[in-house]
Structure 1
């Protein structure tokens, strides 16, 4: 597998002149391979968003290295490295600058000097990828929350990035909008091999990832598959995260004497176990 992004013993402090203040990120090491979906989870203040800023060159480490495409991220190669990264933030309204959907998607392309004919092709292609091609002339602010984020994703895709970073991109959406965005990202990965990093406190979203990095107080607390991270159970709750619905329901049912085998990450697993253990005898 090809390494596309890595952190090597990265430490960052917003107040390095005050050593008694805890570092925002401390001695963090991890690797993301091309085509992976990696979720970075943790409670507010755990260092998740600081990691996103370090990835995109909005911040630089006090110690350690950030590598993009195996090259160390520096002030000298910052703009070249950023060309490989697309970012979608928490509030889509803060990202819109165009009067229409197509104007907004074209904005970054125009600023980067992409020729007009190619720009039109990229705008249409990226909106097709997120199933928003019918909204070319709509005003972004009149769209639903999920549609807005899909347009924001289209704007990132139009720049043809290698890596898509979702920084709490679903946290302000209703369940339908959240589902729209996550299904869009899943489909894009399957069709294009896009590498995805999702910064989130939502363990339901983290379930979709190949790999999960769990941050706590600026440090890497745990790392592994979703199954490995969810096996921590009540420790996740103690550290400020909410368990997936299926895990909470499993605990409640077991407390009522319902026979179930272990924990369940997904609702499908829970239903199958209920059927097998209690109704298919």
Structure 2
């Protein structure tokens, strides 16, 4: 596997107008490999948003080294590296600039000098990837929340990025819209090998990730596969994170004397065990 992004003892401190300082990212180390889905979770103020800004060069580390595509990110290579990264933010309305869906998806391509004869098929292909091709001539602001985020993802995909970063991209969506976006991203990862970094506070969203990084007070508190992370339920709740429904219910059932084995992260896993338990009684 190729290394896509790495942080080597990265730190960043904010200075306030009163002269006070706050270390938002403190000695963080991790590596993202090609084709991985990494979920970064934490409560507000944990350092997630600062990490996102560091990854795309809106901020630069005060200490440590941040490399993207094997190059240390700096002012000289910033624009070249950004052209290979797709970014989808929390509020899709803040990203729309075109009067129609296809105009909006084409905007970044036009800015980067992509010839018209290449632009048209790339717009159609990227919208087809997120199942929004039939909305080519629709006004973006008339779409549902989930549809808007799919268009925002299409705009990022049209640039053919090597890395897609979702910065709280589902936090303003209803459950249906969130499920739509997560399903699209998962299908893209499976079919194209896209590398995904999802920055979120929603632990339900991280179940599809290959690895989870938990941030707390600027530090990397723990990392591992979702099932490993959710086994630390009391630690996660202590820093203000909600567990997936199946994990909470598993614990409550154990407290009531029902012999639930393991730490279930999905309702399907829990239902299967309960069914087996019932059949064996």
Shorter-normalised TM range: over 0.9
Residues 213-257 of structure 1 deviation map (CA, whole Å, 9 limit, x = unaligned): 110000110011111111111110110100000011112222223
Aligned length: 281
Unaligned runs of 5+ in 2: none
Question: Who is 2:77 aligned against?
Answer: 77
Provide the C-alpha distance between the structure 2 equivalents of 1:178 and 1:91, rounded to a whole number of angstroms.
13
- Structure 1 residues not aligned, in runs of 5+: none
- The normalised TM-score by structure 1 is 0.97
Give the Cα–Cα distance (whole angstroms) in 2 for the partners of residues 126 and 18 of structure 1: 47
Distance in 1 (CA, whole Å) between partners of 2:262 and 2:222 is 21
Q: Verify the 8 A CA contact 2:210 2:226 in the aligned structure 1.
A: yes
Give 1:237's aligned residue.
Answer: 237
SS for the counterpart of 1:170 is coil
Q: Provide the C-alpha distance between the structure 1 equivalents of 2:68 and 2:258, rounded to a whole number of angstroms.
A: 49
| CA distance in 2 between partners of 1:19 and 1:100 (Å) | 46
Per the alignment, residue 129 of structure 2 pairs with 129
Task: State the Cα RMSD in Å.
Answer: 1.3
Match in the other structure for 1:270:
270
Q: Give the C-alpha shift of residue 19 in structure 1.
A: 8.2
Deviation (angstroms), 1:18 = 8.0
1:185 maps to 185
SS at match of 2:243: coil
* Corresponding residue number in structure 1 for 2:220: 220
Deviation at 1:260, TM superposition (A): 1.3
Q: SS of 1:173's equivalent?
A: coil
2:97 and 2:104 in contact (8 A); partners too: yes
The reply to whether residue 101 of structure 1 matches residue 77 of structure 2 is no
Partner of 2:195: 195
Partner of 2:163: 163
Shift of 1:279: 3.1
d(CA) in 1 for partners of 2:17, 2:218: 18
The answer to whether the Cα contact below 8 Å between 1:41 and 1:214 also exists between their aligned partners in 2 is yes
Give the whole-Å Cα distance in 2 for the aligned partners of 1:129 and 1:206: 22
Is the 2:84–2:162 Cα contact (8 Å) retained in structure 1? yes
TM superposition shift of 1:258: 2.3
Q: Is the 8 A contact 2:47 2:218 kept in 1?
A: yes
Quote the Cα distance in structure 1 between the aligned partners of 2:112 and 2:68: 20
2: CA distance between counterparts of 1:64 and 1:84?
23
2: CA distance between counterparts of 1:192 and 1:126? 12
* Match of residue 24 from structure 1: 24
Aligned mates of 1:17, 1:155 — CA distance in 2: 37
Q: CA deviation at 1:10?
A: 0.6
TM-superposed CA distance for 1:16, in Å, is 8.4
Q: CA offset at residue 73 of structure 1?
A: 0.3
